[in-house]
Amino acid sequence: MTFERTLYSRRQVLSLGRKTLLVLGIGCLYPVSHYLRAKENQLAVARIASSEMPLKIHWQRLGQTRFWLRQGNDGVEGMWASCTHLGCEVSYNSEQELWLCPCHGSRFNRDGQPVQGPAVNPLARAEVQEKDGFYLTSQKV
């Protein structure tokens, strides 16, 4: 009676399976942790003394933030300068009276409505409160 030798023993195959599952499990940690740390439900906030930022009818950037403010007909208005295509920072060109996105060329009118794609949704308005000589503004990001 002769026995054929197998290439791998049962123990070796099970060990390889365990190691493979371990590597796959570790490989899944990054995307899962990235998902859990996503910016959903985060709130961007900014505050500035109104004396430091006398408002005009054209949009003005609030410091180094993505908040822009202007004096509207019904009080202070806020805009969150994130393109609705893929989130690049847009800036307001007061000569053209357009919001311009440097990434893929979307343009928005002064009220944030899209006038040229690829973005199809308007810019997000930021909530602004005037309180005790300060402008307080916030936006979900």
Contact residues: ligand FES, CB under 6 A: 83, 85-86, 88, 101, 103-106, 118-119
For ligand FES, the closer of residues 84 and 137 by Cβ is 84
CB of 69 to ligand FES, least distance (A): 21
What sign has the CA pseudo-torsion 34, 37, 42, 47? Answer: negative
Using the minimum distance from each CB to ligand FES, give the nearer residue, 55 or 101. Answer: 101
Least distance in angstroms from the C-beta of 11 to ligand FES: 54
Residue (53 or 88) nearer to ligand FES, CB: 88
**Spatial CB neighbours of 50, under 8 Å, sequence gap ≥ 6:** 130, 133, 134, 135
Which CB sits closer to ligand FES, 99 or 135?
A: 99
Rounded least distance, CB 87 to ligand FES, Å: 6
| Min dist. Cβ of residue 137 to ligand FES (A) | 22
Do 81 and 73 contact (CB within 8 A), yes or no?
no
Do 75 and 50 form a contact (C-beta atoms < 8 A)?
no
Q: Could you tell me the smallest distance in angstroms from the CB atom of residue 89 to ligand FES?
A: 9
Residue closer to ligand FES (CB basis): 84 or 128: 84
